[in-house]
Chain A
Amino acid sequence: MKMIRRAILALSAAAAVAGVLRLRGQGGVPPQTGGWRELSTRPR
């Protein structure tokens, strides 16, 4: 019983930390757009 309580406590703590990070963190979003396009040789 004691072990189960510890496991639940550990999982809860981990979920809480993950939740905080999830809410507060900006996160890195992989590029969803873009790709290769024809190269322009005109000056920019």
Chain B
Amino acid sequence: MKRSVAAVLAVVLVGIGVGLAAILVHRDERVAGSSNAPAIAFIGDIQPGSDLCVTGRRVPAGTAVLRTVIGTYGRPSARLSAELTGAGRAVAQAPAAERRNGVTDFVLEPEVRAERRNVRVCISNASPARVALAGLPSQDPKLPGTPAFSWYVAGERSGASLVPKVIDRGGAARGGGSAWFVVACLILLGAGVGALAWVARGVRE
């Protein structure tokens, strides 16, 4: 193999390796779960001094932040609080504070350590004006839509810390389990390396 070709090959392979390593060490906020309702429209208003509650929510383990999308009708923010209750007892809450228009976070106290089901989530409006909440509109106009709630874990986590979870989830509902998923990822990498090696030295003009 010519030195210049080997140099290009090395740069490419090192680049891919460095990129993958950067993804693994990169720390970022991570999703714990979601209501699985996309924020595609505003589904209703919360009037001043009142609240909007939804029941039967599943709050995943490790949740420390509730993220949703609000519309403040031209104002930069609105004063909102959140309360999560289950079986008649408080699960977590976020005190009233100014929440910015658009994507907004409610930092919950305390963190929800174990998964909770049938949780009632209430967003209360302490502003002098109405606030719209985004989510998935109902097919039936008589029924309310589903608010788009995403649950995030506390702080930031590295990509590497997610690998076991990803492998486990990738094998769900597959005959071969997680092994197929891992093999597929290795096949992709192997095909890439093999193709590069072949172009670098195998193809004859």
On whether the two chains bind one another, the answer is no
